[in-house]
Amino acid sequence: MRGKLRSPKPKEHQLNPNWELLRQKLIKSNGPKKQSTRSQQQKSEPESQNSILGKRKERPVTETDGSKPNPLIPSSSDSSVTDVLAMDCEMVGVSSMGNKSALGRITLVNKWGNVIYDEYVRPVEKVVDFRTKISGIRPRDLRKAKDFISVQRKYQILQHLVDALLLSHPKKDIRDTSEYQHFLKEGRSRALRYLAADYLGVEIQNGEHCPVEDARAAMLLYQKHRKQWERSIKDFIRLKKKQKKRKQKCKTNEGDSDV
């Protein structure tokens, strides 16, 4: 016969009634502990899942939904004066009609986008139109603001620092986003908000302008096109020199012909 071998059953021994009672008590006492342990594990599992989901929720949106991070956020905490600076100004209206512009706020950021100077300015003339919808400047901002002369002096101190670092900026070293050939459309300059949307993929100036944000956008536009931009400047200067030499040569030839 073929069959499965089974281990012989052990003989049952009768326990002393006292031991049997103790054994039943131990079984009863151990039973709830196992159940409580299981219940704790079941409770702890949802908690751990919730904590993981909680951490995910705390992460930046850029890591969860795949959207791009905001390029205008500075990539460094360095707030020193760098080889390039971006400036943005917000203007208010003065004169009797309020149609004359005067400086109301000035902001400077370094190449990392960190603010190195940001000041409200109280114009010499009385402000008639704060242009709040665009400038974001309100009467309360200028009540304790520094007057134009004080800001001018402070800027001169900053300028001395820039000069000391061999970072002086004559007109030929100024880069204006409204004048760069690559940014023009049909020969016309474009607003900074359109340049930021097209070339940086960010929206700015939706309502009141933020000079810090605008200066960062201008800086990033320059940084992204710096090589091409500088090359075009050099080509332009070279062309101007050639034209100047031609004019001088033409004048010399005219002088010789007169003789």
Encode pLDDT of 59-69 as tens digits.
333 333 456 78
Count of other CB atoms within 10 angstroms of residue 109: 29
Q: What is the pLDDT of residue 18?
A: 55
Low-confidence ranges of the chain (pLDDT < 50): 1-12, 33-65
- Give Cβ neighbours of residue 212 (< 8 Å, ≥ 6 apart): 88, 107, 109, 115, 118
Q: What is the pLDDT of residue 156?
A: 76
Q: What is the pLDDT of residue 73?
A: 93
The tokens 């021994």 sit on which residue? 13
Encode pLDDT of 164-214 as tens digits.
655 566 778 889 999 999 999 988 999 999 999 999 999 999 999 999 999
Q: What is the pLDDT of residue 162?
A: 64
Is the pTM higher than 0.85? The answer reads: no
Question: Distance (Å, rounded) from C-alpha 35 to C-alpha 135?
Answer: 67
Question: Distance (Å, rounded) from C-alpha 34 to C-alpha 152?
Answer: 78
CB 172, CB 237: distance < 8 Å? yes
CB 229, CB 175: distance < 8 Å? yes
Work out the end-to-end distance of the chain between its first and last CA atoms, rounded to an integer number of angstroms.
Answer: 140
